[in-house]
Structure 1
Amino acid sequence: MPDYDCSIYIDNSVILKRPPRTNAGADPVIGFLVAPHSYRETVLDEFLEMARKGSDDASRIFEQLNHCTLSCPEILEERP
C-alpha cells in the first residue's frame, strides 16, 4: 500500500472507544502500536489462562511457554 503511511488491523473482539486515527502514533523504534491487554497483567497469566480455557492444545501452549522461559524469561512478567 504505497499510498499510505500506516495500516491498522482490528480484531473482531475489539470495541473502539475512539476513532482509530487517535491511536495511529506507532512507536518509531518498533514500527507498530499494540493496545494493552484488557484482562491479564502478565504474559505468564495469559499463557495460563489460554491453557485453562483450552484455547489450544496444552502441549503446544506449554512448549511455547518453555521456549519463552528459556530464551527471554523477562517477557513473562510484561503486560500482554
Structure 2
Amino acid sequence: MFSRRLQRDGSREFLLGLVTRYVWSRGAVRHALSILKSNLRSINVDVDKELISIVMNSVKHLMLNFNLQGSLLMLKQLAT
C-alpha cells in the first residue's frame, strides 16, 4: 500500500516532504532542549549538572517519542 502511494503521488516529492518534516522536527526538538537547558542554568547557577542531564534526557526521550508517534500515525494515514 505504501509503495503504491509513493508511485501515485510521485516518490520524489513525497519523500522530500517526509525528510523535510523529519529535519524540522529534529530542529524543533534541539531548539526546545537548548531553551530548557539555558532556563535551568539561569534559575540556579549551582544546579547539579547530573540533574540537568537527567532532565534533558527525559525531555528528549518524551519529545522523540512524541515525534515518532506522530510520524507513525502520518505514515499509517498515508498508507490507507
| Higher RCO (C-alpha 8 Å, min separation 6) | 2
The answer to whether TM tops 0.5 is no
Question: Whose helix fraction is larger, Structure 1's or Structure 2's?
Answer: 2
Q: When the two structures are superposed, what TM-score results if normalisation uses the length of structure 2?
A: 0.30
Larger radius of gyration: 2
